[in-house]
Chains A and B, each alone.
Chain A
Amino acid sequence: MIGHPDKSSAPAAGGSAASPVMSCRTEDPPSVVAEIQELCLASPGRPGPAASHSLSCTLRQGDYHVVVGGGSSGKTRLLEILAGLARPEAGAVRLFGRDTSALRGDDWMEMRRRVGLVFDDGCRLFPQMTVIENVALPVCYHLNQSFEEVRSFVDPLLDWMGITHLRDQIPGRIGRGWRPRIGLARALTTKPELLLLDNPLAGLDPDQTSWWLGLLKSLVRGHAWYGGVPVTVLVTASDPAPWNGSECLFTYLHDVNQDPIEPPARQT
């Protein structure tokens, strides 16, 4: 595994040097959201190729990172560590200036409200709840409001995600292509500053893929949902091709059991 941020993103791909992300970088240094130092991505009890390497990188506000790697390269593990769901075997992670190894109990719970995670494969939606209940749960819990009280807050989000027609259905009856959108809506209710997405484009058709790429770009540039403030987005992918042309930074996690994944052709 090699942790090298590959700045194959070209402003010409979808934006220009005058885009909000780029102008933010040149005029006012954006704040550091996450610092990853010598991070080991091996899972305990599952010695894999990722164990022998480490990852170092820095995520700043408005950064758009795509982490590309094979099946056991440690992509999901990286997201779990950043979301506080797993502890690294070695290395250090600082989120919003705080060393995560020093966070305990409720400190982590507070930190997780600033980090949104969209899981892979079904997005781990709560099967006994309807879509609107799934999406509204975090805001109901954290703001101590009933589902009826947050309806006016959640409805625009469902509309933005294009899932209003699914609001009263349970996740088990919804097509797989829609579930990541529900997972994203659920993650966005608390307006996290760092958004982590685990392979969100897996198995999606071209229309859905295009929708996702457009949405993530709008988040990074500063969407009205966030009051125009750019969000830091970290996405994992097994195939970098769909991201080619996005204003993103690529990081490749090489799995020694597989052939290295080639970076996409640079846009001109």
Chain B
Amino acid sequence: MRSRAAASYAGIASDTRGGSAATRFGRVFLRAMVVARDLGAFFLITLAVVLTKFNVASKVMHPMMRREMTRAGFKLLPMAAFMALGLGFLVIGQSVALLTQVGAQDLTGTIMVTVIIRELGPAVTALLMLSKIGTATVIELGTARALGEVEALEALGIDPVHYLVAPRVCGMALSTFALTVYSILLSLAGGYMFAFLQNVPITPGVYLSQIGNALKWSDFILLAMKTAVFGGIISMTCCYEGLARPLDLGDVSEATTRAVMRSVVLCVVFDGIFLLQTLI
């Protein structure tokens, strides 16, 4: 049960009227803390359910998980491929002209690793996942909540977090990782295609060796962590906004925009933390 102090903080945080700039900042900060606490609690509950009930009702849950992975991964592949090829074209297109002017074409691979593998690949894939699957998730869960389907599941002795949240979180997290890898590979291929079309004197072997030399083992670890964190943030935030609080049908659109905003903010914050980690 929520403590009296926590309820008081939540009340203060939700009141944004009046006061000095410092007071308003304090309220916003407090509200952010309340949201972070609730999201953290939801994350821990979901993690516990995923770990303890992974094989419970597996003949019902595992097909659902596969369906989520198909929806969030396989069906998103054409869009992800389109964006990845475009990204590769843009990055190489902008950088090759500059590198040629200063005679530093050897840095093409390094730029691709720095820009695509470390930063833009995971970020763009996460944005794609959020815009296509995350918003659909909030709408689905919010509508289910508003129409009383969650209570219906509970009345049947079915844990809503297990039935509704766990497959979506697992599906989205795994799909984010898989799509990011595909996107990066296609971006690198798209980059080389552009360089080839622009008659940049670089062979595939040289291009790949440049990328290989620029890559470190820590990049693979960072990529895995980033995609897992981005996928986790998006899936958790969207499920939380759709499911964790009582909604009317009219609240679903607001919950969707809130989920998008909070997912973007959290992804940027964690991206910053990863960047600091690599700089240190």
Contact = CB atoms under 8 A, between A and B. Distances in A.
Interface string B146-175: 011101101111110001000000000000
A126 B157 contact: no
B131 interface: no
Interface stretch (B11-19, B57-65, B177-185, B209-217): B57-65
A85 B157 contact: no
B152 A119 contact: yes
Nearest to B143: A127
A145 B59 CA distance: 6
Nearest to B158: A141
B157 A113 contact: yes
A110 B151 CA distance: 15
B151 A140 contact: no
Contacts of A117: 155
Given A119-B148, A124-B147, A124-B148, A85 B59 contact: no
Contacts of B59: 140, 144-146, 149
B244 to A, nearest CB: 16
Contacts of A112: 154-157
B155 A144 contact: no
A30 B151 CA distance: 30
Contacts of A109: 157-159
A114 B93 CA distance: 66
Given A124-B148, A140-B59, A141-B60, A83 B163 contact: no
B152 A142 contact: no
A190 interface: yes
In this complex, the interface size class of chain B, counting residues with CB under 8 Å from chain A, is 10 to 19
B152 A190 contact: no
Contact of B156 (A106, A110, A137, A145): A137
Contact of A190 (B56, B156, B163): B156
A138 B149 contact: no
Contact of A85 (B56, B57, B149, B155): B155
A228 B68 CA distance: 42
A84 interface: yes
A186 B155 CA distance: 11
Given A119-B148, A124-B151, A144 B157 contact: no
Of the candidates B59, B151, B156, the one having the most CB atoms from chain A within 10 angstroms of its own CB is B156
Contacts of B57: 140-142, 144
A118 to B, nearest CB: 9
Of the candidates A109, A110, A113, A125, the one having the most CB atoms from chain B within 10 angstroms of its own CB is A109
A85 B154 CA distance: 7
A72 B58 CA distance: 42
B139 to A, nearest CB: 13
Interface string A91-117: 000000000000000100110110111
Given A126-B152, A141-B158, A144-B60, 16 more contacts: A80-B151, A85-B155, A109-B158, A110-B157, A112-B154, A112-B155, A116-B155, A117-B155, A119-B148, A119-B152, A119-B155, A137-B60, A138-B157, A141-B156, A144-B57, A186-B156
